Amino acid sequence: MTSSKYSEKYQIQLFEGNANGEISLAMMMNIMLAISEHQLDQLGISQQQLVANYHVGWVITQYHIEVKRAPKVGETIVASTQATGYNRFFCYRDFWIHDQAGNELVSVKSTFVMMDIQTRKIIPVIKEIVAKFDLEPSKQIVRFPRIPHFDDTKTITSQDYRVRYFDIDSNGHVNNTRYFDWMQDVLGFDFLQKHSLKTADVRYEREVHYGDVVQSEVQKAAENITLHRIMNNGEIAAEAQFTWQ
């Protein structure tokens, strides 16, 4: 059993595009997350309401993204989202982008957990909140594709990024979509101009905060596959596998 699907039309703005005139991955996910926040607001459980009433916030732990075609600047799309299930610690939500003819352009599966804003610890899902979605609890844990480890025998390219004030969201840590910019930027202009993203698997491991200096590392795993990790103080903050065309 799944909850109701929520959809909105949206026109891609110039500032949301990249040098190829297509929406960037970070901006695309920002739109989808904004749509889900609109749904939560209608249900009375927006991020602001959760912080005010429960002192908790949603934290994304994993994405699986499939891109058939990136929306273009100026294009009007339909962005949709739907909560699909939950268990004691994890909540699952899907996202889609369709063009005006109804063709699916992008699909996303995601996992969220609930974090106590004051202790910064993950807590069991508060049933009073997820009850708003009219979902039945499940003991099943959704499995995402495995992200391979780096091969120590292959070249690793790295770039430092300092976390700015404007990288931080209302949960007090780096916004999850900022990692996409760090991961892709290290690939360089020429690669990004000649390749289109087809799939992305991302897993977030640790929070990153204001003033931290992270290392975005990339390694080519195959002809059209890149492995990524964001390192902070010697620990993995996030890792990903991207496939390209």
The H or E element containing residue 179 is: helix 178-185
The H or E element containing residue 194 is: helix 189-194
The H or E element containing residue 185 is: helix 178-185
pLDDT of residue 18: 95
For the chain, the straight-line distance linking the first and the last C-alpha, in angstroms and rounded, comes to 35
- State pLDDT tens for residues 49-99: 999 999 999 999 999 999 999 999 999 999 999 999 999 999 999 999 999
- State pLDDT tens for residues 26-36: 999 999 999 99
Whether 208 shows a pLDDT value over 60: the answer reads: yes
Cα 47 → chain centroid: 16
pLDDT of residue 60: 95
pTM more than 0.85: yes
Task: Band the pLDDT of 136: cuts 50, 70, 90.
Answer: confident
Please enumerate in sequence order all residues whose Cβ is within 8 A of that of 42, keeping only pairs 6 or more positions apart, or say none: 6
Q: How many CB atoms lie within 10 A of CB 135?
A: 17
The whole-angstrom separation of Cα 219 and Cα 165 is 29
Average pLDDT over residues 165-177: 90
- Beta strands 213-222; 91-98: pairing state: unpaired
Whether 138 shows a pLDDT value over 90: the answer reads: no
The whole-angstrom separation of Cα 79 and Cα 230 is 28
Whether 1 shows a pLDDT value over 80: the answer reads: no
| DSSP-assigned states of every residue in 11-58 | EPPGGGB-TTSBB-HHHHHHHHHHHHHHHHHHHT--HHHHHHHHSEEE
In the chain, the percentage of residues whose pLDDT exceeds 90 is: 88
> What rounded mean pLDDT belongs to the chain?
95
The whole-angstrom separation of Cα 226 and Cα 196 is 12
Do the Cβ atoms of 227 and 150 come closer than 8 Å? Answer: yes
The whole-angstrom separation of Cα 231 and Cα 3 is 36
Do the Cβ atoms of 214 and 182 come closer than 8 Å? Answer: yes
Average pLDDT over residues 147-163: 95
pLDDT of residue 237: 97
- State pLDDT tens for residues 7-46: 999 999 999 999 999 999 999 999 999 999 999 999 999 9
